[in-house]
Amino acid sequence: MSSQRAVLLVAHTGRPAAVQSARLVLDRLTAAGLAVRVLASEAPDLRFPVAREMPVSAEAAAGAEMVIVIGGDGTLLRAAELARPAGAAVLGVNLGHVGFLAEADPEDLSETVDRVVARRYAVERRMTIDVTVRQNGCVTAETWALNEATVEKAARERMLDMVTEVDGRPLSRWGCDGVVFATPTGSTAYAFSAGGPVVWPEVEALLLVPISAHALFAGPMVVSPRSVLAAEVIGGPSAWPPGAAMDGHGEASGAVLWCDGRRKVDLPPGARVEVRRGVRPVLLARLRGAGQVGAAEDGTVQDGTVQDGTVQDGTVQDYPAQGGTETGALFTDRLVAKFGLPVKGWRGQADARRAVAAAGQREEGPSGDA
């Protein structure tokens, strides 16, 4: 087996800026002696013959140290499908609208590649969810999500009739447009749009957020990461509210399951969706704060292996106790910058004020589709 370090690059090739940035990254990685890979579906647009073409499967990232993503959060979620089974860290360069998952901006590309080459980056383990679909007690589908799994109505003109469950106990029956099961990472995505809370990424929890539920008790809920959540699509002749007259069709409406907006499963009436903490996390590479005290949440990657420490010049160092606090501060800065939150008048410590100002300047960059 070759000991040469390998990096897979995934890009939003529909954007000329992403293609240009991708070629720059490939050039610098190759010049530094790293083996580079690209997806076979993207190779014609990237036109980098030195790169090894890989199939769009888990094989693409097998044995790779990192997956570098040029695009927005949508592109990063696509890359996570390849990186997660291989245990490779994902590093996003944002060319999208919000880019909450991305770490670097296009103007920082050269420095970003230099940090990767020198192994000066930290890695966060991001919690995922495993999703099981059952019909009549039999498993019909199994999938996963980094952000969220949503059960949504399949027919636009109908309300979805469903009942939710927490740890084997019924919670509530709703007539609604659907429900979002989210991770802390996904709390700033669909769950946030549906009225859910923002949960800091180092918090371990599961979120249950109803979508436009016709009920008095329909607020977002945060439960233990050890809980098992479920939603059942009411089967058989049904109407909402229970006991109401049937519509002209006289049938219950089915639903659809979406995971990260990428993986779809049709849910007929009577289907059951179970959501629990994922067995395998997604690893996100972080540059900001790496090499500083408390830079990462729980480890870094070196040659594709998560270790208890940070990497500085290739040397593993232990984390101090306040590491989680530092991670939370970095997320707070990201939240303020991405949403343009008003913080004028804040009278924190001088060094903290300078850090907030610097974070805001870094987040000002180009926007576009993910």
What are the catalytic residues?
A: 73
Q: Which two tokens stand for residue 170?
A: 């019924």
The phi and psi torsions of 168 (rounded to 5 degrees) equal 75, 10
Q: Which H, E and C letters describe 110-178, residue by residue?
A: HHHHHHHHCCCCEEEEECCEEEEEEECCEEEEEEEECCEEEEEECCCCCCEEEEEEECCEEEEEEEECE
Residue 320 CB partners (closer than 8 Å, separation 6+): 293, 294
| Relative orientation angle of helices 350-363 and 323-339, to the nearest 10 degrees | 50
What is the rounded CA–CA span in Å between residue 151 and residue 157? 16
Residue 316 carries which side chain, given as an amino acid letter? Answer: V
Those residues with Cβ within 8 angstroms of residue 325's Cβ, 6 or more apart along the chain or in another chain: 294
Helix (H, G, I), strand (E, B) or coil at 187: helix
**209 touches 222 (CB < 8 A):** no
CA angle 95, 203, 223 (to 5 degrees): 115
Return the amino acid letter for 135: Q
Cα-flanking dihedrals φ and ψ of residue 109, to 5°?
A: -60, -50
Count how many Cα atoms sit within 13 Å of the Cα of residue 189 in the half-sphere of its side chain.
25
Q: How far is it, in rounded angstroms, from Cα 357 to Cα 359? A: 5
DSSP assignment of 37-101 = EEETTTHHHH--TTSEEE-SSGGGGTT-SEEEEEE-HHHHHHHHHHHHHHT-EEEEEE-SSS-SS
Query: In the Cβ-directed half-sphere of 253, how many Cα atoms lie within 13 Å?
Result: 23
CB atoms within 10 A of CB 110: 11
Torsion of CA 225, 226, 227, 231, to 10 degrees: 70
